[in-house]
Amino acid sequence: MKKVNKDKTCVIEVDGHKYERWAIQTKLIEASDNILEVVKEFALPEMIAGDIILISEKALACTQSRAIPLDEINPRPLAKFLSKYVTKSPYGIGLSMPETMEMALRECGTLRILFAAIISAIGKVFGQRGVFYVVAGSKAKSIDGPCDHTIEPYNHYVVLGPENPKEAAKKIKEETGYDAAIIDANDLGIDILGSYGNVDEELVKKIWVGNPLGQAGEQTPFGLIRSVC
């Protein structure tokens, strides 16, 4: 089902050109699902020639068994310590809880996370923010913790970044014929983790400003961009 989520704009003008941006509702996506089959079932019927399909990185990660229940994560003391110093954001937990920090240590390595924490502390002295994730890398930045606005049961999970997002985008393009991008987006901005086809990533970032997707009750982890004039 194609829809516009509350308080989001359907048509946006970028560089003098107008684009429609739609969110696509799906079923609850789980580890047993194949992302290609979910795309074919829910997105493909809504699309026309020239559209670009956007896939939430969390949706892809869930189909790769990259969603881990909180009660299966036992944070080490270092994770508990470091998580206390992470700035909390209204758009996600990030690494500000011991369980997500523990997974960052596992994904990125202890030395890299410690180095990122040290450089981040120095950066804050000079008024620079966001240094931690620059040093820690995309794997750390892609880790999502449980939030009130996350649909059940993922409000009790830590979701890691997806494996091989560019390869996933390539398979979607090959199977559907539509250009595709795997995105990590919130109201603050969008990162494109992988794309395939004729995708201008910088243009997509401009078009998708404000993030029309919703993964709580909206259950819209897919989106599409359509040029209208």
- Mean pLDDT across 175-192: 88
Of the candidates 162, 171, 167, the residue with the CA atom closest to the CA atom of residue 37: 171
- Mean pLDDT across 149-169: 91
User: Does the pLDDT of residue 88 top 70, yes or no?
Assistant: no
User: Does the pLDDT of residue 6 top 60, yes or no?
Assistant: no
Write out pLDDT tens, residues 191-228: 999 999 999 999 999 999 888 887 666 788 999 999 99
- Mean pLDDT across 135-163: 88
Of the candidates 210, 181, 201, 141, the residue with the CA atom closest to the CA atom of residue 59: 181
CB atoms within 10 A of CB 121: 12
- In the numeric block, which tokens belong to residue 96? 């500000």
Q: Where are the domains of the chain?
A: 13-27+48-66+178-229, 68-159
Which residue would you say has higher pLDDT here, 124 or 163? 163
Cα gap 62→162, rounded to integer Å: 8
Model pLDDT, residue 94 = 83
- Mean pLDDT across 66-93: 87
pLDDT band for position 5 (cuts 50, 70, 90): low
User: Does the pLDDT of residue 3 top 70, yes or no?
Assistant: no
Cα gap 106→147, rounded to integer Å: 21
Write out pLDDT tens, residues 117-128: 999 989 888 888
pLDDT band for position 8 (cuts 50, 70, 90): low
Write out pLDDT tens, residues 24-60: 999 999 999 999 999 999 999 999 999 999 999 999 9
User: Does the pLDDT of residue 90 top 70, yes or no?
Assistant: no
Residues 6 or more apart whose Cβ sits within 8 Å of residue 61:
67, 142, 159, 160, 161, 162, 163
Least confident of 58-72, 74-88, 146-160: 146-160
DSSP string, 26-87: -----TTS-HHHHIIIIIGGG--TT-EEEEEHHHHHHHTT-EEEGGG----HHHHHHHTTSP
Model pLDDT, residue 181 = 97
Cis amide bond preceding 153, omega within 30 = yes
